[in-house]
Amino acid sequence: MRADRLMAILLLLQQREQLTAAEAARELEVSERTARRDFEALAVAGVPVYSMQGRGGGWRLVGGARTDLSGLTASEARALFLVAGPASAATPAVKAALRKLVRALPEPFRAQAEAAAASLVMDPQRWGSGRVERRTPRFLDALQDAVIRGVQVRLGYVDSTGAETRRTVHPLGIVAKGPWWYLVAQTEAGRRTFRIDRVSAADPTGEPADRPEGFDLAGSWREIADEVDRRRTPLEIRALCTPDGLDKLQMGFGDRLEVGGSTTDGRVQVVIRGYDEHTLAGELAGLVEWIEVTGPPGVRERLASIGSTLVERYDPHCDGSAPM
């Protein structure tokens, strides 16, 4: 995982005066190109590393080698924890390293560094289809800062219809899902999610945000995403799938597929979510070699209709000519 490598590179730089990409590549068992990209990622994120060019050069920490992080500024410490410790991505090893680094930080920076580590969730599953490049929204940094500092924000927001509203929110965390960035916040109407590229203004009020005790951003986001998925795909069909067809279902339906137990004939029980019977039957029509839909009846009837049409059109023994 990349977060593990970034942490390992930083710790190696703590121990040595300088480190080349080739040395980092050998230590981490990756290519030199990958190691160079990791050094550059740390630098872009604001971690105080720099490159010495020429013979005998390499990467160094600003201020030389040291055994603690006392050379970091508050913003640099937060940047480190953002790039290396997303709440949903960090492995136990990374989390252990983060705890050690927190203890090495100057006291004034510790709370903000810990808040940064818990303020971001990465969700690779995307909503919708089509290729959209992830871009950094205008107010992402300001909202991330408000989350970390724990202050309320006067938020301007343009919804999907183009209507603009303003409200005061209590920021709880930032989520990157597919190509989009979201703010999770507490409002007068309860917990809400805002797509950050639709934010038109973000003005910190300076007032402390009301953050529920023990709030778990990753767990809260799972609940939000599950609810959105249920609204987007309200129909559920039940089916039996041959073991060799599961990979095809997983490729085709992703997190819309739930896999259950096996039946006495060796097939696997599955549930697939979709928008409506017509659309879902169309998606399933090419998979009939591996699955048998058991319900609801409307999807079975639609599949039978699709099958009849295919036979009439393509069976050489069937007169499929249209009436004059």
pLDDT of 96 > 90? The answer is: no
CATH topology of domain 233-314: Alpha-Beta Plaits (3.30.70)
Instruction: Tell me the pLDDT of the chain averaged across its residues.
Output: 77
pLDDT of 1 > 50? The answer is: no
pLDDT at 276: 85
Arithmetic mean of pLDDT, 53-61: 75
Arithmetic mean of pLDDT, 96-107: 55
> Between 290 and 56, where is the model more confident?
290
> Between 251 and 117, where is the model more confident?
251
CATH 1.10.10 domain locations along the chain: 2-118
User: In which band, very low, low, confident or very high, does the pLDDT at 270 lie, cut at 50, 70 and 90?
Assistant: very high
CATH 3.30.70 domain locations along the chain: 233-314
Arithmetic mean of pLDDT, 159-183: 89
pLDDT at 164: 93
Where is 292: in which H helix or E strand?
A: strand 291-295
The 8-class DSSP code of residue 213 comes to T
pLDDT at 208: 92
> Between 75 and 179, where is the model more confident?
179
Report DSSP letters for 22-91, one per residue: HHHHHHHTS-HHHHHHHHHHHHHTT-SEEEE-STT-EEEETTS--SS-TT--HHHHHHHHHHH--TTT--
Arithmetic mean of pLDDT, 263-267: 91
User: In which band, very low, low, confident or very high, does the pLDDT at 178 lie, cut at 50, 70 and 90?
Assistant: confident
Indicate the CATH number of 140-229 among 2.60.120.560, 2.60.120.620, 2.30.30.520, 3.90.1150.10.
Answer: 2.30.30.520
How many CB atoms are located within 10 Å of the residue 260 CB? 12
pLDDT of 67 > 50? The answer is: no
- CATH architecture of the domain 2-118 equals Orthogonal Bundle (1.10)
pLDDT of 213 > 80? The answer is: yes
On whether the CB atoms of residues 57 and 22 are closer than 8 A, the answer is no
pLDDT of 163 > 60? The answer is: yes
CATH 2.30.30.520 domain locations along the chain: 140-229
pLDDT of 106 > 80? The answer is: no
> Between 65 and 112, where is the model more confident?
112
